[in-house]
Amino acid sequence: MSSAVRFETVGLRYDAYGPEVLRDVDFTLPAGSFHFLTGASGAGKSSLLKLIYLGAAPSRGQVTVFGQETTRISPADRTSLRRRMGVVFHDFQLIDHLTAFDNAALPLRVAGQKPKAYSEDVQELLNWVGLGARIESYPPALSAGEKQRLAIARAVVGRPWLILADEPTGAVDDDMAVRILRLFVELNRLGATVLIATHDHELVGRSGMPSLHLDRGRLTQVPA
């Protein structure tokens, strides 16, 4: 099976003289797989995701995403690779001056699709995450949980090959967390590779999906 993500002896330091926050990280996520990423606060979960979505470069080792070595990628390939990924950021990174609908539709708009072609899909997705009545609202007027659900909608709306989510259920109640998990599982069934960083051990246990576990920058549990 081809790999979606491959780390080979990856190390990451944010500062030349600072500590390595990821050390000797080695793993492969097969295309179409579903994994959680667990570990204590500060273990390096968000940093690992950042290396995959090209938000940082490894200090040593190699990160390969859909066959492309991320440190050697051309600017054009970088843009197209980035468009294949849907990322749910820990701090959501919504655009405050766009409505919920326009935030969710942004990846489609950037890809050149016309509102006529996507508006029904976007509405349906927003209904699914319980934001159907908030499509005209702006992010500053949304609760933390609503922002989180909007960030999830935006991440998945373009049917990305790879979904990376950083604690995507941290701000919602248990019922909504289960619903969001179902959405990710469904998208995985349709072919997306999924990696979700989480503290929610109950959600991990309930899902029956495998985990990678980070302990102070080292991977102590790798996918089978």
Ligand X SMILES: Nc1ncnc2c1ncn2[C@@H]1O[C@H](COP(=O)(O)OP(=O)(O)OP(=O)(O)O)[C@@H](O)[C@H]1O
Contact status, residue 8 vs residue 69, Cβ threshold 8 Å: no
Q: How far is the CB of 12 from ligand X (least distance, A)?
A: 8
Reduce the DSSP state of residue 162 to 3 states and report it: strand
Binding-site partner at residue 74 among ligand X, Mg ion, none, CB < 5 to 8 Å by type: none
Query: Could you give the CA distance from residue 64 to residue 177 in angstroms, rounded to a whole number?
Result: 30
The token pair at 151 is 């960030």
Stretch that binds ligand X, among 35-43, 95-103, 128-136, 187-195 (CB under 6 A): 35-43
Query: Could you give the CA distance from residue 45 to residue 43 in angstroms, rounded to a whole number?
Result: 6
List of residues 6+ apart from 134 with CB closer than 8 A: 100, 126, 142, 146
Reduce the DSSP state of residue 21 to 3 states and report it: strand
Answer for which of 41, 74, 96, 117 binds ligand X (CB under 6 A) is: 41
Q: How far is the CB of 71 from Mg ion (least distance, A)?
A: 23
Contact status, residue 115 vs residue 105, Cβ threshold 8 Å: yes
Query: Could you give the CA distance from residue 102 to residue 106 in angstroms, rounded to a whole number?
Result: 6
Query: Could you give the CA distance from residue 48 to residue 70 in angstroms, rounded to a whole number?
Result: 13
Q: Which of residues 46-85 bind ligand X (CB under 6 A)?
A: 46-47
The answer to the question of residue 44 lying near ligand X (CB under 6 A) is yes
Reduce the DSSP state of residue 16 to 3 states and report it: coil
Answer for which of 4, 5, 29, 43 binds ligand X (CB under 6 A) is: 43
Q: How far is the CB of 47 from ligand X (least distance, A)?
A: 3
Stretch that binds ligand X, among 24-32, 42-50, 101-109, 133-141 (CB under 6 A): 42-50
Q: How far is the CB of 158 from Mg ion (least distance, A)?
A: 24
The answer to the question of residue 169 lying near ligand X (CB under 6 A) is no
Stretch that binds ligand X, among 3-11, 44-52, 147-155, 181-189 (CB under 6 A): 44-52
Our CB check for ligand X shows the closer of 21 and 204 to be 21
Residues that bind ligand X (CB under 6 A): 14, 21, 39, 41-47
